Amino acid sequence: MHLLGKYGARVVALVLVAGLASAALARLAPGAAADERELDPRLSAETVAAMRANEEASHNLGRFLLHYARGLAHFQLGFSQSQNAPVRELIAERGVTTIRELGIALAAALAIGAAFAIPAARFRAARVYDASCAILAGVFLSVPAALLAYVCLVLGGSATLVLALVLTPRVFLFSRNLLAQAYGATHVQMAMARGVDEFRILLFYVLAPAAGAMLAMAAATATIGVGASIPIEAICDTAGLGRLAWQAAMARDLPLLVNLTMIVALATTLAMALAEFFAPREAIA
Amino acid sequence: MNRVRIAAIAVLATLALGALLAPVWARDSYQIQFREAPDAPPSWKFPLGTDALGRDRLTRLGYGARVSFLLAPAAALLTCLEAAVLGGLAGFAGRRVRSVVLFAADLFLTLPWLFLLIAVRACLPLNTSPEISVAITFLLLGALGWAAPARIICAAVGKLNRSDFILQARAAGCSPSRLLLRHLIPNVMPVLLAQFWIAVPVYILAEATLGMLGLGVSEPLPSLGSILRDLEGVDVIAQPWQLAPAIVLAVFAGAFQLVRPREDYSL
């Protein structure tokens, strides 16, 4: 219980510091207090001066954080100037898209990656199959997610497909190594020698002991997916959190950037905590 | 060394040589415009055609690859130095220093690498000279990638610190500086080297991603990322030669993956 409390406090501290750091970064960015509306020639000098004063006030880091903390107590996350909408609404609206996209892509990556990994791990003598799969995975790993998104966009693919293509090779390589180790274990060799059914060996002798590590890998892969969703959604023009994060960073939208940083930090920390929880004890040691 | 690694080294060497010698083999500068031939298809004069501004794609690819191939290892070196100093400090110094360094590392690892990179890059000046934008991009890559290698170095140094030979050296009156220089650093070098090999392709791909999002090296200086940005709105099926930079990038990153030492997972 004490350990859980300590871990929880560390997570909260990490999320808060990440949010604070992103706020400081956006505030200190050159031109952060500038507003492109100031370039409108129809506005008078007084209006521009008033806008500038307003902008300066909203970009005061201390004041922003105080206001943000006060709003957070009432479940208010602030207002995005660049999107002209409340941050809470934006996140709720876009979050659904990204979670759905990530969920489908992760499930597809796990299914396809494991389906290719099982024969490669079981039949170690089938070097051509193993090498072909490894080369294919290597090719996808050697291409940036943004480029895959471009190509898929041209071919009519969706952001979910690109995300699945980014995650599958990672899942394949990790599960192949993991399952090859499991198949090489003495008790599995013994079961094979005794003539135990292949499917039974796979299910109870290989997959069952590797389940913890596989779940840990799924959690770790999800965090990669969160990062990859930014360029993919930006290029595929999908209205998700990834594109919102990119727009917030480009527009230096302080409230949006801080909230997204904290959400991403929280999601990553929780995913990594899950990965640690599911990982075999000896691996952590 | 197996044949695949030798082939990968040969490919890497060829690509690196081609990129480094771009000023020698390229007929013109990367920014020269052939205004009579914008968007030209491949020909004897322009083997990869020209871009929308009439610049020779092959020349730009050569110079762009040169920027990426030279600066990605430099950024990886910076990361390794940071990781060595911070990770070594965390592993060698007391518990308090270790806690502070590991908390900072966790903070960096809390945010996905690409998110962090895009957020930080977008907050830095975008309308700078090409040279400064190159420096910002690769310095940022080098500066932000330290957390994971530092954790590994910290673990390696901690393990070494508890080993028998270090204990014996301490008991023999070895000074901390000698311990560090003669015993710890040489033993951590293979771990650092592995981190370097891992970081280089990651940084090349990260620069390409940043460039494609318009946050990388600014025009007219080419980099693999900024060249790949030209693919936007291009029908790659009708104009397959436009994929040449993507192929060069994939071959380079793939060759790097094959060159680095692999774990043997077979039992």
Which residue segments constitute the domains of chain B, with CATH numbers given?
3-259 (1.10.3720)
Rounded to the nearest 5°, which phi and psi values hold at A86?
-65, 140
Q: Out of B106, B236, B250, name the one closest to residue A143 (CB).
A: B250
Per the prediction, chain B carries an average pLDDT of 85
Spatial CA neighbour of B106 closest among A63, A65, A21, A93: A21
What local confidence, expressed as pLDDT, does residue A37 receive?
A: 64
Does residue B137 contact residue B182 with C-beta atoms inside 8 Å?
no
Decide if pLDDT at B185 tops 80: yes
Spatial CA neighbour of B119 closest among A250, A83, A244, A241: A250
What local confidence, expressed as pLDDT, does residue A127 receive?
A: 84
A residues 61-120 near B, CB within 8 Å?
none
Tell me if chain B has a CB within 8 Å of the CB of A254: no
How many whole angstroms separate alpha carbon A29 and alpha carbon A23?
A: 10
Q: pLDDT digit string (tens) for B204-237?
A: 998 888 888 888 777 788 888 888 888 877 777 8
And the tokens for A52?
Answer: 């500038």
User: Helices in chain B by DSSP H: which ranges?
Assistant: 3-20, 22-25, 57-92, 95-110, 113-122, 130-144, 147-161, 164-171, 176-178, 185-212, 224-228, 244-259
Decide if pLDDT at B123 tops 80: no
Which residues does chain B have within 8 Å of residue A249's beta carbon, measured at their own beta carbons? 118-119, 121-123
**Do the chains contact at A32 and B123, CB–CB below 8 Å?**
yes
**Do the chains contact at A138 and B119, CB–CB below 8 Å?**
no
> Among all residues of chain B, which has the CA nearest to that of A186?
B267
And the tokens for A194?
Answer: 């005794």
> Among all residues of chain B, which has the CA nearest to that of A141?
B254
Running along chain A, 285 residues long, what does each successive block of 10 average in pLDDT? 75 82 72 63 76 66 75 78 86 92 94 92 84 88 89 86 94 91 89 89 88 86 88 90 87 82 85 77 49
User: Helices in A37-86 by DSSP H: which ranges?
Assistant: 45-58, 61-73
Identify the residue among A122, A173, A250, A257 best suited for mutation to test binding to B, counting B beta carbons within 10 A and taking the highest. A250
Please identify which residue in the block is written with the tokens 């007084």: A46
Please identify which residue in the block is written with the tokens 């901690």: B158
**Threshold 0.90, pTM exceeds:** no
Distance from CA of A177 to the nearest CA of B (A): 6
Mean pLDDT computed over B23-31:
85
Q: Which residues pair with A86 in a beta bridge?
A: A79
B residues 105-144 near A, CB within 8 Å?
106-107, 109-115, 118-125
End-to-end Cα, chain A, rounded Å = 20
Tell me if chain A has a CB within 8 Å of the CB of B32: no
How many whole angstroms separate alpha carbon B201 and alpha carbon B249?
A: 9
